[in-house]
Chain A
Amino acid sequence: AQSVTQLGSHVSVSEGALVLLRCNYSSSVPPYLFWYVQYPNQGLQLLLKYTSAATLVKGINGFEAEFKKSETSFHLTKPSAHMSDAAEYFCAVSPQAAGNKLTFGGGTRVLVKP
């Protein structure tokens, strides 16, 4: 069984400030981990993924995340927030085995203040 917990359903940051979104997972098997972004009334777009290679993963739009097995975490960061980063962000886990269905966290909505 797998589960994902995202701490903080809403995060407010100032433009230019650090963005930090927290994700902790639980998995009985080696996981793949993902961060997706969703803009209003749209589907999900992949930001980055961890698939058992490098533990520090760089994604699109300046985002990166670090897989920490000992902490069962996969936190998402961006050094400098931009107004266009305002969206909802979802952390997801899937087993490395066949099927690979995604289990999502509840999401974190990011508000960027000018």
Chain B
Amino acid sequence: DTGVSQDPRHKITKRGQNVTFRCDPISEHNRLYWYRQTLGQGPEFLTYFQNEAQLEKSRLLSDRFSAERPKGSFSTLEIQRTEQGDSAMYLCASRGTGVNEQFFGPGTRLTVL
């Protein structure tokens, strides 16, 4: 069990640039979740996939955010035209069928200058 992995672990970018993060879930897990955590706060739900279908998106996910899971395995989260308010830790989690817990990756910390 290699766990959930995320890449990169840290990203520093300038305002206005686009960034893309990758999440590789535990291999047999069909559900994948993205959360955002700002400093001193609990994680907030962004979106989730069941296999390749994106089944729910939070209102936090503005038009500048897009997530994909093209083959039902890894997922990408892209932020276009980054703003300083996008600075946060982006967490990915996965869950298998019949299992009630989500397994979290180490997160990608984004800093927008």
Contacts and interface: CB of A to CB of B under 8 A. Distances in A.
Interface of A: 4, 9, 32, 34, 36, 41-46, 49, 51, 90, 92, 99-107
A106 B42 contact: yes
Nearest to A91: B42
Interface of B is mostly: strand
A43 B4 CA distance: 10
B33 interface: yes
B29 interface: no
Interface of B: 4, 31, 33, 35, 40-45, 48, 55-56, 91, 93, 95, 100-107, 109
Nearest to A106: B42
A103 B44 CA distance: 7
A44 B91 contact: yes
Nearest to A46: B101
A93 B103 CA distance: 15
Given A100-B95, A102-B43, A104-B42, A44 B104 contact: yes
